[in-house]
Structure 1
Amino acid sequence: MSAPIDLYYWPTPNGWKITIMLEELGQPYAVKYVNIAKGEQFEPEFLKIAPNNRMPAIVDPDGPGGEPISVFESGAILQYLGRKFGRFYPQEERARVATEEWLFWQVGGLGPMAGQAHHFRQYAPEKVQYGIDRYTNECNRLYGVMNRRLADREFLAGEYTIADMACIDWIIPHERQGQDLADFPHLKRWYETMKARPAVQRGIDVGKEERARAADLSTDKAAQAVLFGQRARD
């Protein structure tokens, strides 16, 4: 068994990707909570690990050559862990390409668009109907893309991979994005399959109590200023 990996984490869709992966691997890890509503992601020590001041990030004490390595960006972390442990990230080239296509599709599309839908539907201080419609409709389009992909296969890349771990987290809050899974039967079947995996459920549950005690971003103005008023920092 490898030494525990330090996981810098907050229970959000991007954070869940990594807890799910670590739970699927059965890899020991130590959670270092980074309360994004309090601005802990701007602490100098954290910025040494994650220069984009976003979580998640990891520090693996047993990195390449036996030396510690830090990795930031959820997609890069999933790839690193998949390579290191040889699981959920196929080595055969065609299967690996398919996995990377859907991983990058999530990182560049589903996550950002769903995040904007969350913002305009729940957190924006003023109701901006154009923003609500723009991102709700784009989420709907992306759900349709997944639904078509899953029409003839169990998982996004055929077998269960890091691509599925990346995407499930942004489908869990589908109601907050204004989506009804009944409109996407193949996606709904995949969603239910994913949610039934014990490691997925354990990963989602990590930090649930911490989040319940944290500021309510829909009403807490100070927390909103921390998260939504960021500009360049020296």
Structure 2
Amino acid sequence: MSDLSSFPITKKWPARNSDLIQLYSLPTPNGVKVSIALEELGLAYEPHRIDFGGNEQKSPEFVSLNPNGRIPAIIDPDGPGGKPIGLFESGAILVYLAEKTGKLIPADPAARYEMLCWVMFQMGGIGPMFGQFGHFHKFAAEKVANNSYPVERYRDESKRLLSVLEERLKDRQWIMGDEYTIADIATFPWVRGADVFYGGREVLDYAGFPAVMAWLERCLARPAAQKGLELPAKP
């Protein structure tokens, strides 16, 4: 068995099998990226549910792995050189897992960098902007009832980003064409989440982005996506 005792997070969330990748997450648009990737890659892992209600992501044990106090995070007992490694930030974890396995990432170097552009597009654009839209549209609606600017700002920017994705996906099955990659996995949970979590389908005019909607359905039809979207499961 691998020794993960140097990671304080394992004191609060003990590993049942320390030879498996340890996933610390919750089924949010960011969190499910990693569980979906792990399912697609067929990597054995042990999911640990981080309770936002209990503010567990801010606990000393969790922050010892991710100083930013955000899910997801992982420990891979078989990291570079066969040594355990702890990682945080969903985009970084996706790149790590893809490079570790040589899957969900183009083999051609130029295509690989093109794909990374789209991963960063999600990390720097779709994720933050959709998240801000959802916050003001749903969770802070009463606070901005007399000020339409926050909702309008993030609604319009979210729609602009959807239009960029729409143009990319015209006549393409996946973001990188015929190959399903971590760029798709990074992005589709946020497009789904803006509807499922934030109720933004009508406000963001999803019907006006048919290529995006068809791509989203293809993503959601994948068995690994269906399973990963539900993990870590409720106790």
2:30–2:189 CA contact under 8 A, matched in 1: yes
Q: Which residue of 2 aligns with 1:46?
A: 62
Cα drift, residue 208 of structure 1: 5.2
Moved over 3 A (4+): 207-210
d(CA) in 2 for partners of 1:147 and 1:208? 32
Q: Does 1:192 align with 2:217?
A: yes
The structure with the largest helix share of the pair is 1
Which of 155, 163, 173 is matched with 2:193 structurally? 173
Q: Using a 3 Å threshold, how does the CA distance of structure 1 residues 76 and 190 change in structure 2: closer, same or farther? A: same
Q: Does 1:156 align with 2:156?
A: no
Q: Runs of 5+ in structure 1 lacking a partner?
A: 211-234
d(CA) in 2 for partners of 1:76 and 1:97? 14
Helix, strand or coil for the counterpart of 2:105?
Answer: coil
Q: Using a 3 Å threshold, how does the CA distance of structure 1 residues 209 and 34 change in structure 2: closer, same or farther? A: closer
C-alpha deviations, 1:74-122, integer Å up to 9, x for none?
0000000001011001231121012101000000000000000110011
d(CA) in 1 for partners of 2:193 and 2:73? 22
Q: Which residue of 1 aligns with 2:106?
A: 90
Q: Which residue of 2 aligns with 1:183?
A: 208
d(CA) in 2 for partners of 1:107 and 1:121? 21
Q: Does 1:131 align with 2:156?
A: no
1:174–1:180 CA contact under 8 A, matched in 2: no
Query: Aligned residues: percent identity?
Result: 45
The two structures have a TM-score, normalised by structure 1, of: 0.85
Q: Which residue of 1 aligns with 2:226?
A: 201
Q: Which residue of 2 aligns with 1:36?
A: 52
C-alpha deviations, 1:195-228, integer Å up to 9, x for none?
1111011111224546xxxxxxxxxxxxxxxxxx
Report the AA paired with residue 31 of structure 2.
Answer: G
d(CA) in 2 for partners of 1:33 and 1:209? 7
Q: Runs of 5+ in structure 2 lacking a partner?
A: 1-17
Q: How many residues align?
A: 209
1:49–1:72 CA contact under 8 A, matched in 2: yes
d(CA) in 1 for partners of 2:85 and 2:233? 28
Cα drift, residue 152 of structure 1: 2.4
Q: Which residue of 2 aligns with 1:6?
A: 22
Q: Does 1:108 align with 2:124?
A: yes
